[in-house]
Amino acid sequence: MPAYHPLSVEEAIELAKSISGHFSADSDLSCREIGDGNLNLVFHVTDKHSDKSIIIKQAVPYAKVVGESWPLSLDRARIERQALQIQHKLCPDLVPEVYAYSDEMAYTVMEDLSRFTIMRKGLIEGGVYPNFAQHIGRFMANTLFYTSDLGMNQQEKKVLAGQFVNPDLCKITEDLIFEDPYRDSPNNNYSDAIADEAKALRNDTQLHFEVALLRDKFLTRGQALLHGDLHTGSIFVTPDSTMVIDPEFAYYGPMGFDIGAVIANLLLNYASQPGWSEDETILSGRQQRLLNMCTDVWKHFENNFRQLWDKDLQDEMSRTPGYQDHYIAEVLRDAAGFAGCKMIRRIVGLSHVADIEGIKNDEIREASQRKSLAIGKALVRHHRSISSAEQLIQLVQQTV
Ligand code: ADP
Ligand code: MG
Ligand code: MG
Ligand code: MG
């Protein structure tokens, strides 16, 4: 086995050639590193004389954070690769296929999805994705149900959960989502224009109480194998198809965390729309569409999840009348609360979203930031009393 080192472009080409069934021995390959993140290399290898191509994603042993380097376990590449394989098996049409991997070299070779658009970019450009809610609802229902004690043997589930202990990446979430936005942390990142909001977040002990409850769920509720980073930058779309990538934060956690991530990112785009819509009619149309998508995401998740429960439940006790309703109601409350936390951190925390940051006009950007914070705080504050997706959307619409 070769010792770990970051691949060069030349090595990526040699690796691509060695993967059977993709390129012929005499193919003329070119390669570009296209990663946008601070954590990984992404090589796009294409054949100059055919339409064949692949992606090689390789982890590097550090994260670049505010100019500094955090050491970060390479084991996350193994975790991402295994999560992709499990998710692909459960939803072959919604997750890229893994062609090859090396845990020692921390790389995964997978299907090239360059024909798709990253959903965050698509939404910013006003893209319409009529099948997205149905697809992501089914992705979450299948991946969460079949990795939980409901959908798999409970002893086997414990063994599987042991393979997804992901302390380094969980720490990033624990710090950046559940701690820093509420403290005077050097990781925080916001403009002076909203310093009043950031200060209010630090002093709001009632809000901290709700965040502490959600953080406890993130730390202790090993309900299912989560994607762990299911924002619109981890989703590729076309008008009729959807593909989920980048599960390096996968671990056993509360189901609502993934669902909340999707809803939060739709709502961040909703709050950013005044910066992207040319006129009032387009603006209100897009906003309504985004709110409908949030309710549809939940509904498709719920319908699929109930169907799986009725079809493939693994134990008798979970058939107790009322238990399914109780279980799903908790997932919705969690999803609402986690969505709120995720919105807040994207405004005052370390890592922002292009939907909001990309707005050129200072006043509109600031208004979108304040709107996102207002929605995020309302969701966190009230998450424990939310009992329907409609109620969640009402809360969003009531914020000013
Ligand atoms: P990171 O964990 O560093 O965020 P991602 O898995 O999100 O890495 O990939 C970063 C970028 O690389 C994506 O936004 C996309 O542009 C490109 N990319 C990653 N995987 C693929 C793929 N399977 N097909 C095409 N492009 C990809
Ligand atoms: Mg990235
Ligand atoms: Mg990513
Ligand atoms: Mg990632």
Give the CATH number for residue 152. Answer: 3.90.1200.10
pLDDT at 1: 59
Residues 254 and 310 in one domain: yes
Residues with CB under 6 A from ligand 1: 34-37, 39-40, 42, 55, 57, 96, 110-114, 118, 234, 245-246, 248
Distances (CA, A) of 173 to 44, 181, 212, 357: 28, 12, 14, 21
Q: What is the C-alpha separation between 140 and 299, in angstroms, rounded?
A: 12
Q: How far is ligand 4, taken at its centre, from the CA of residue 320, in Å?
A: 39
Ligand 1, pocket-test mutation among 41, 44, 57, most atoms within 8 A of CB: 57
pLDDT in tens, 111-152: 999 999 999 999 999 999 999 999 999 999 999 999 999 999
Q: Is the pLDDT of residue 66 over 60?
A: no
Tokens read off for 21: 């069934």
Q: Is the pLDDT of residue 172 over 70?
A: yes
In a domain, 328, yes or no: yes
pLDDT at 20: 81
Backbone angles phi, psi at 322, to 5 degrees: 95, -20
Residues 107 and 173 in one domain: no
In a domain, 101, yes or no: yes
Backbone angles phi, psi at 91, to 5 degrees: -140, 70
Tokens read off for 311: 């079809």
Residues 131 and 21 in one domain: no
Domain boundary among 67, 85, 111: 111
Q: What is the total count of domains within the chain?
A: 2
Q: What is the C-alpha separation between 254 and 222, in angstroms, rounded?
A: 6
| pTM to 2 decimal places | 0.97
355 annotated as ligand-binding: no
Domain boundary among 61, 94, 111: 111
Nearest CA to ligand 1 atom 18: 42
Residues 352 and 244 in one domain: yes
Residues 95 and 145 in one domain: no
ipTM over 0.95: yes
Residues 163 and 202 in one domain: yes
Residues 137 and 179 in one domain: yes
In a domain, 2, yes or no: no
pLDDT at 68: 64
Residue that is written with structure tokens 């238990």 in the block: 323
Ligand 1 nearest atom to the CA of residue 40, by list position: 3
Domain that holds residue 295: 117-398
Ion ligand 3 neighbours (CB, 5 A) are: 246
Ligand 1, pocket-test mutation among 234, 245, 351, most atoms within 8 A of CB: 245
Tell me the average pLDDT across 94-111. 98
Residues 232 and 269 in one domain: yes
In a domain, 307, yes or no: yes
Residues 230 and 356 in one domain: yes
In a domain, 4, yes or no: no
- 395: pLDDT confidence band, cut at 50, 70 and 90? very high
Residues 171 and 105 in one domain: no
Residues 127 and 238 in one domain: yes
pLDDT at 241: 98
- The SS3 call for residue 117 is strand
Q: Is the pLDDT of residue 70 over 90?
A: no
CB-CB contact of 192 with 356 (8 Å): no
Q: What is the C-alpha separation between 230 and 235, in angstroms, rounded?
A: 7
* Domain CATH code at residue 33: 3.30.200.20
64 annotated as ligand-binding: no
Q: Is the pLDDT of residue 69 over 80?
A: no
- 24: pLDDT confidence band, cut at 50, 70 and 90? confident
Nearest CA to ligand 1 atom 11: 35
Strands (E), the chain: 29-33, 40-47, 53-59, 62-65, 68-71, 98-102, 107-111, 117-118, 224-225, 235-237, 242-244, 252-253
pLDDT at 400: 82
pLDDT in tens, 228-260: 999 999 999 999 999 999 999 999 999 999 999
Q: Is the pLDDT of residue 13 over 60?
A: yes
Of the candidate ranges 18-32, 170-184, 334-348, the one whose mean pLDDT is the lowest: 18-32
Nearest CA to ligand 1 atom 10: 35
Domain boundary among 78, 111, 144: 111
Tell me the average pLDDT across 58-80. 85
Residues 252 and 383 in one domain: yes
- 312: pLDDT confidence band, cut at 50, 70 and 90? very high
List, in sequence order, the alpha helices (H) in 146-255. 154-162, 167-178, 195-203, 205-220
pLDDT at 67: 60
377 annotated as ligand-binding: no
Ligand 1, pocket-test mutation among 31, 33, 42, most atoms within 8 A of CB: 42
Ion ligand 2 neighbours (CB, 5 A) are: 36-37
**Which residues, at least 6 apart from 347, have a Cβ–Cβ distance to it below 8 Å?**
190, 194, 197, 356, 369, 372, 373, 376
Q: Is the pLDDT of residue 4 over 60?
A: yes
CB-CB contact of 345 with 176 (8 Å): yes
What does the mean pLDDT of the chain come to? 96
Tokens read off for 35: 């990663």
Q: In DSSP terms, which residues pair with 32 in a beta bridge? A: 44
pLDDT at 219: 98
Q: How far is ligand 1, taken at its centre, from the CA of residue 398, in Å?
A: 36
Ligand 1 nearest atom to the CA of residue 112, by list position: 24
Q: Is the pLDDT of residue 96 over 60?
A: yes
In a domain, 57, yes or no: yes
